Amino acid sequence: MPKTMLVTGASSGIGKALSMEMARRGYHLGLMARREEVLEAVRNEICAESKSVKVEIARLDVTDYPTVAGTIRDLADRLGGCDTIFVNAGIGLGEKIGRGNFEKARRTIEVNLIGAIATADAAVEYFLEHGGGHVVGVSSVAAFRGMPRGSSYSASKAGFATYLEALRAETLRKKIDVTVLYPGYIDTPLNSMLPNRPFVIPVEKGAAIIAKLIEKKVRRSTVPIFPWNIIARAFRMLPTRIIARM
């Protein structure tokens, strides 16, 4: 039987590109995002290219916490089941600490951390009831070190990565696989305004790498693996005076 994947944040960026990549690989898809009209356009684009796959959509704001579990369950039922969920919805607003930008920080934490946890929790509930599944969570290389003007983003991504590691331990014998991905700069609207994006790669290339990592069910990986696997270790050792200039 064809495999199925649910994707949050599927209307643009990595979520859209991965959805198209997985459709090419024969996956049926359940796409979620806040903008239902954009999801409809994404579905049409996927179905025009990959005519044999089934694509269902649902509007979801991951910070509307009471609706998350029901939306996931409904999409999975419409697809006849769910093998994998790609927990991807996220924002990056950027803010300086102590400059009156707390609302940006709050919103970032609500979407990237609490919304992501709500999504993973709902997926695990479904997988426990149906004999297993695969949770894939999107963190970031920003999780490896708190970065200036990105404090809440770094915190949210580090927090979610830690949550996923705990999830893996808690479900070790429950037939639930957990993958934590740490993308570097992938060319998406989330980072397109930044003046400097070292080692940036096209979103299509990023999606192809992510698809391979998902199908291998790796436990954790940077995206791409090189050079970010080396840079990530270096981040932790850099003196604060160097981090402060970034």
Q: Quick check: 55 and 26 in contact, CB under 8 A?
A: no
Tell me if residue 182 is catalytic: no
Q: Is 113 helix (H, G, I), strand (E, B) or coil?
A: helix
Active-site option among 153, 163, 182, 185: 153
Within 69-143, strands assigned E span 84-87, 133-138
Question: Rounded CA gap, 221 and 180, in Å?
Answer: 7
The DSSP annotation for 197-228 comes to: -TT-B-HHHHHHHHHHHHHHT-SEEEESSTTH
Q: Quick check: 159 and 137 in contact, CB under 8 A?
A: no
Angular region, 117: left φ>0, alpha ψ -120 to 50, beta rest: alpha
CA distances 235 to 105, 220, 242, Å, are: 22, 17, 10
Active site residues: 153
